[in-house]
Structure 1
Amino acid sequence: MADTTASASARSEEVRARRLQWRMLIGFAAGLIAGLAVHYGAADAGWVDAVTAYVTGPIGQIFLRLLFMLVIPLLVSALIVGVAEMGEMRALKSVGVRTLVYTVCVSAVAVAISLLLVNLLQPGAGVDPALARTLIAQGADGAKAITSQAGEAKTGMDALVAIIPSNFIGAMSQNDVLAVMFFALFFGIGLMIVQTPQTATLKSAIEGVFEVAMTLIGIVIQLAPVAIFCFMFNLAAEFGWDLMVRLSAYVGVVLLALGLQMFVVFPIVLRLLARKSPLAFFRETQEAFVMAFATSSSNATLPTALRVAHDGLRLPDRVARFVLTLGATANQNGTAMFEGVTVIFLAQFFGVDLTMQQQVMVMLVCILGGIGTAGVPAGSLPVIALILASIGVPPEGIGLVLGVDRFLDMCRTTLNVVGDLVAATVVSAGVGDAEGAEPAA
């Protein structure tokens, strides 16, 4: 009887998830069509600015703020419980090492693909100088804000030391995700080592925080179709297709690089390392990548990715929670690829010839940048400004690509989230093999 009830509940959850996916897709398509219609039919109408400023803009921001409000409690509780459920240091070491090796290797492949394409196709050599001056002037204010933010960012040893928070509450209030994750990882290890009735009660309480956060986020996610409509409406109403066409060479190289990683590298990795059908994987994870595309945030998509890993991919919770919470900040293939293409594109545009050694250094910095970049919209732009300054390219040149960054941010975030789920699938399969269990089907 219990099995029948559980099966019925699982089917009901699957039906609800499928309905939400369709509603999100409908919201996406409707927002895009409505936005394009406004851009080409009533771009100068006063009511358009009023709608985006007082209706669609605030609705989208409220949705994101609700998610961000709950993400830190979710991330902390998921990582603490995920580490504690490893049971022993040997299991944590196994999962941690697999995750680290996978992240570095796949990120290296991603950036190598990006640099190869941008050097072969040379998108920066064909930009019209007059158009470039116009775009840079239009993006001057945004570029100034980004470069000043890049100047405040910690680098080198300071950045490494800053990962360890002096005040956990302060790190949460400043949204310092790496520092928060370090505390959660450290606390989870302590919870795993100390096996007493009191720590068992504490672990149960933290699991309760995770369950409450997931439930509340599940309620917020029901607003996703409306929020996605608003995001797409604002994007299409403001830019249409014009800017995409004017920077088509740059946009095309970025999309080609992301596409090769998504539809060539990931399927090979899934088939060889996880013995998982790529078609089945993409079918089971579609809700996560629709959410990633709409929100442009790995952190905001984390709750959906966790649910997809549990309900769709059927991955072990202890592995999925560990890999996905770390991956939301550390395993960002799309961000690393975008940074590599953008840096070389701007170097080409400004006539800065980079040696192979410099390009290799750019590749290494992009890999590290992908690990340390905040999983929020436009989180990679300050990192790009830092890299540009280090190789002699004017950081203000980032204004050239600001107009298309929102769309490219949506695309690279989708790759980031899919990459996290691929990583969780591969690591789960490896752990299952090591423990004598069957890998995920």
Structure 2
Amino acid sequence: MNIENEGKGMSLQMRMGIGFALGLVLGLIVHATSAGADWVQTVTTYVTQPIGQIFLRLLFMLVIPLLFSALVTGIAEMGDIRSLKRVGIRTLIFTVLVSSVAVVVALAVVNLLQPGAGVDPELAQRMLADGRAGAQAIVAGSPDKPSGIAAVLAIIPNNVVKAAADNDILAVMFFALAFGIGLLAVQGKAADTLQDAVQGIFDVTMKLIGYVIQLAPFAVACFMFNLAALFGWDLLIKLGAYVGVVLLALVIQMFVVYPIVIRLFAGMSPLHFFRSIQEAMVMAFSTASSNATLPTAIRVAEDKLMLPPRVARFVLTIGATANQNGTAIFEGVTVLFLAQFFGVELSLMQQTTVLLVCILGGIGTAGVPAGSLPVVALILGMVGVPPEGIGLVLGVDRFLDMCRTTLNVTGDLTAAVVVSKGEVHDQPLEKTATAA
């Protein structure tokens, strides 16, 4: 996810960092000198909280068309049904399985280490008091959530328009997946025109989110002021624990899961693999963009890993959209961290829902600037965690974005190596792996 500089002015990430620091410092000063004062209540109620809510509402306004269009186009661009029988299906299976492992790793780490636990529940509720009305507007569509078999059946919508109106993210994603497969199966000019129209929806939504994200520095400053004014230094401790847990989950996926997959399913030396893709990893970290790294990844796959060009290009192009392990990990850790922070106990069914949405959300948010942010906020609303809690993580998102994009690109190259193993032009890969 690349955030470009606006002309010769200061970059957005720099402005977000300034907003984070400014809000944090001012909040800490207020916490130390005027905690509980009436004027602080007035400022948070009528200034900082409304600004944050405007930012959140704009994101929620765009999340449904974003996820629908991204999922449909991601599937439709796989080619045709015959392609799906071999490379397409194998790529899809790899994506789902490895993404599932990534989210399981994330949920296991955050449940084990409990980075958000230990905050006084009364303080957490006080922080949310001013934004309660806005939060209710976001989650009001699903006050009575089904459970058990009813929850499984509810994934299949009987009215997709109503599901979208109710922010039923799983139902909308199910319809988008089915629609994308149907669009893939239909041939003809009309289907091509429809696919172009859906692509247009995606392009427009992405552009609008780009505009909305320009408000992020102001939202970050307001969120951090509210949080720091209430929690003080305890906030910094919790935020550091959150960053550490995200990085730990990313490291496990990068240096434990991927090497096992590469050795077992591709017969390649993991050391040779990581040596060969260093250029792509550096590009991914510096740009924080899977799409911007795609040309470098394709060149590395063909010239360094010696993969068949037709397979490498297909898998890496689809992977830049669909195989987002780092994004899935980030979303899973963030949702559970905020649930712990605000004292919301998530049942096994709710955590399973988080897992499923994070897997699908990795497909729906790829390549979109700060695209994981609205998905995280929507998941929070689904499981009963106050969505405005995402203000906690906005200030450190840029660094985590760079880290998770590196994992995303590495995962795409891992998929290309594994899928290439079974193809006709597999000889260069075998030779390279043996030499390694």
TM-score by length of 1: 0.58
Relative to structure 1, the CA distance from residue 415 to residue 134 in structure 2 (aligned partners, 3 Å threshold; closer, same or farther) is farther
**Deviation at 1:309?**
0.9
> How far, CA to CA, are the matches of 1:372 and 1:170 in structure 2?
17
The aligned residue for residue 301 of structure 1 is 293
> How far, CA to CA, are the matches of 2:432 and 2:261 in structure 1?
14
Within the candidate set 348, 353, 357, 2:349 is matched to 357
> How far, CA to CA, are the matches of 1:416 and 1:136 in structure 2?
33
The aligned residue for residue 267 of structure 1 is 259
8 A Cα contact 2:307 2:428, kept in partner: no
> How far, CA to CA, are the matches of 1:285 and 1:435 in structure 2?
19
**Deviation at 1:172?**
4.2
> How far, CA to CA, are the matches of 2:409 and 2:126 in structure 1?
34
Q: Which structure 2 residues correspond to residues 40-439 of structure 1 after superposition, within 5 A?
A: 89=82, 93-126=85-118, 155-160=172-177, 163=180, 164=183, 167-176=194-203, 247-432=239-424, 438=430
8 A Cα contact 1:94 1:431, kept in partner: no
> How far, CA to CA, are the matches of 2:258 and 2:102 in structure 1?
10
Relative to structure 1, the CA distance from residue 127 to residue 325 in structure 2 (aligned partners, 3 Å threshold; closer, same or farther) is farther
**Deviation at 1:279?**
1.5
> How far, CA to CA, are the matches of 1:297 and 1:136 in structure 2?
33
Which residue identity is paired with 2:312?
Answer: A
**Deviation at 1:151?**
5.8
> How far, CA to CA, are the matches of 2:334 and 2:424 in structure 1?
39
User: Unmatched 5+ residue regions in structure 1?
Assistant: 1-30, 45-75, 179-238
> How far, CA to CA, are the matches of 1:380 and 1:96 in structure 2?
25
8 A Cα contact 1:432 1:439, kept in partner: no
TM-score by length of 2: 0.59
**1:94-120 CA distance string (max 9 Å, x none):** 212221221111111111111111111
Which residue identity is paired with 2:177?
Answer: L
> How far, CA to CA, are the matches of 2:275 and 2:116 in structure 1?
36
8 A Cα contact 2:294 2:320, kept in partner: yes
**1:227-273 CA distance string (max 9 Å, x none):** xxxxxxxxxxxx9xx99766111011100000000001101111111
Relative to structure 1, the CA distance from residue 93 to residue 310 in structure 2 (aligned partners, 3 Å threshold; closer, same or farther) is same
> How far, CA to CA, are the matches of 2:429 and 2:312 in structure 1?
16
**Deviation at 1:373?**
1.8
> How far, CA to CA, are the matches of 2:128 and 2:302 in structure 1?
45
* Secondary structure of the corresponding residue to residue 407 of structure 1: helix
8 A Cα contact 1:293 1:413, kept in partner: yes
> How far, CA to CA, are the matches of 1:439 and 1:93 in structure 2?
27
**Deviation at 1:293?**
1.3
**1:364-411 CA distance string (max 9 Å, x none):** 121111122232331111111111111111111111111111111111
Relative to structure 1, the CA distance from residue 295 to residue 175 in structure 2 (aligned partners, 3 Å threshold; closer, same or farther) is farther
8 A Cα contact 1:110 1:337, kept in partner: yes
> How far, CA to CA, are the matches of 1:244 and 1:425 in structure 2?
41
Query: Sequence identity of aligned pairs in percent?
Result: 63
8 A Cα contact 2:116 2:238, kept in partner: no
Relative to structure 1, the CA distance from residue 131 to residue 440 in structure 2 (aligned partners, 3 Å threshold; closer, same or farther) is farther
8 A Cα contact 2:307 2:426, kept in partner: no
8 A Cα contact 2:254 2:407, kept in partner: yes
Which residue identity is paired with 1:155?
Answer: V
> How far, CA to CA, are the matches of 1:135 and 1:318 in structure 2?
53
Number of equivalent positions: 305
Q: Decide which moves more: 104-113 or 374-383.
A: 374-383
User: Unmatched 5+ residue regions in structure 2?
Assistant: 1-12, 27-72, 140-163, 184-190, 206-223, 225-232
8 A Cα contact 1:333 1:419, kept in partner: yes
Which residue identity is paired with 1:415?
Answer: L
Relative to structure 1, the CA distance from residue 386 to residue 434 in structure 2 (aligned partners, 3 Å threshold; closer, same or farther) is same
**Deviation at 1:311?**
1.5
Relative to structure 1, the CA distance from residue 176 to residue 252 in structure 2 (aligned partners, 3 Å threshold; closer, same or farther) is same
* Secondary structure of the corresponding residue to residue 98 of structure 1: helix
* Secondary structure of the corresponding residue to residue 125 of structure 1: coil
**Deviation at 1:345?**
0.8
Relative to structure 1, the CA distance from residue 375 to residue 152 in structure 2 (aligned partners, 3 Å threshold; closer, same or farther) is farther
> How far, CA to CA, are the matches of 1:262 and 1:135 in structure 2?
36
> How far, CA to CA, are the matches of 2:303 and 2:123 in structure 1?
49
> How far, CA to CA, are the matches of 1:287 and 1:310 in structure 2?
13
